[in-house]
Amino acid sequence: MCGATQLWELEMGRYLTTMRLFWSNAFGVLLEYQFNFLIEFFAMLASLIGSIFILSLFFVEGQSLGGWSWEAALVVQGFYTLLDGVTNTWLRPNLGAIVNYVREGTLDFVLLKPIDSQFWVSVRTLAPTGIPEIALGIVLILWAASKAGAEFSFGVLFVTSMMLLVSCIILYSLWFLIAATTIWFVKTWNATEVLRALLAAGRFPVVAYPPILRIIFTVLLPIAFLTTVPAEVILGQSATYTLLLGWLLALIAFFLSRIFWNFALSFYTSASS
């Protein structure tokens, strides 16, 4: 038993060291080109200004949205902004690069390493472009929630963080499922863009949509769990079963992504030399 624990700790250490080196290298690559770094920095600023502009459209009039007060709807917008930042920082740079690995045949190197290939392709790099959006999202969530009368007890903040984790896992799994189809179709950029457009629906509480879309966004594409549910949690409006359902969905989505990746790899033919 002790041996198994030690082995597990060693394995965890190996994965954590690898991830730390991946990210320090990503930072190294970013700083390697000073001029490009400046451009990245301005792109980051531009993206922040863009996000603030979109938010400002909400400030026009304090109307309610599908029964949600304007402030409460703004919390949903805050979660959307945060997840958009996570997408730009983590998902897009990593999962978007799977196409290149497959096209150039460098996925071979990944598959020959004694490390989980899904882990490798999922955390290989980080892009700082989305970090201001993440910060903006957090500020917006806290500000709008307090305006909406939320109480920030430790329990509420903890459960909110957990639900944010759920939304990140669901978003990652959906994105990864599409990215894994690269093994067959090689080019799947358009598919991920369609997904991104669909996720934009998460800007608003699901109750703001017609009933049919509401069902689709809750059951088929769990967009409700990405933004609306975490917002409900911080506003103290969520039922326990929703939280459990969220976790269940996240676990199912994650395991589906793993099964699908391994299934896809059995079709991998590697690029010709």
Partner 1 sequence: MVIEVQGLSKTYRIADKEPGLLGTFNHFFNRKTYDLKAVNEVSFVIKQGEIVGFLGANGAGKTTTLKMLCGLIYPSAGFISVAGYLPQRRQVPFLKQITLVMGQKQQLIWDLPPLDSLMVNAAVYGIREPEARNRITELADMLEIGEELTRPVRKLSLGQRMKAELLAALLHRPTVLFLDEPTLGLDVNAQAKVRSFLAEYNRRTGATILLTSHYMTDITTLCSRVLLIHQGQLFHDGGLDALTERLSPYRQVRLELNKLASKSDFLGYGKLESLNGRSVCLLVERKNLTSIVSRLLSNFDIFDFEVTDPPIDELIGSLFQKGTL
Nearest distance from C-beta of residue 179 to partner 1, angstroms: 19
Helix axes 2-32, 34-56, angle to 10 degrees: 100
Give the nearer residue to partner 1 in terms of CB position, either 190 or 240: 190
State how far the alpha carbon of 79 is from the alpha carbons of 40, 110, 113, 164, in Å: 24, 33, 36, 8
Nearest distance from C-beta of residue 32 to partner 1, angstroms: 5
Nearest distance from C-beta of residue 47 to partner 1, angstroms: 23
**Beta partners for 65?**
68
Give the nearer residue to partner 1 in terms of CB position, either 96 or 105: 105
Give the nearer residue to partner 1 in terms of CB position, either 32 or 61: 32
- Contact residues toward partner 1 (CB under 8 A) are 10, 14, 17-18, 21-22, 25, 28-29, 32-33, 104-106, 108-109, 111-115, 266, 268-270, 272-273
Nearest distance from C-beta of residue 168 to partner 1, angstroms: 24
Nearest CA-CA partner of 242 in 254, 255, 228? 228
Q: What's the CA gap between 49 and 251, in Å, rounded?
A: 35
Nearest distance from C-beta of residue 8 to partner 1, angstroms: 13
Give the nearer residue to partner 1 in terms of CB position, either 182 or 242: 182
Burial (0-12, 13-18, 19+ Cβ within 10 Å), 230: buried
Residues 129 and 47 sit within 8 Å (Cβ to Cβ): yes
User: Token pair of 139, please?
Assistant: 């500020």
Give the nearer residue to partner 1 in terms of CB position, either 18 or 181: 18
Nearest distance from C-beta of residue 120 to partner 1, angstroms: 8
Give the nearer residue to partner 1 in terms of CB position, either 6 or 17: 17
Q: What's the CA gap between 79 and 215, in Å, rounded?
A: 20
φ/ψ of 67, rounded to 5, equals 90, -10
Give the nearer residue to partner 1 in terms of CB position, either 63 or 266: 266
Q: What's the CA gap between 192 and 244, in Å, rounded?
A: 28
User: Token pair of 184, please?
Assistant: 């067959």
Nearest distance from C-beta of residue 108 to partner 1, angstroms: 5
User: Token pair of 116, please?
Assistant: 């989980």
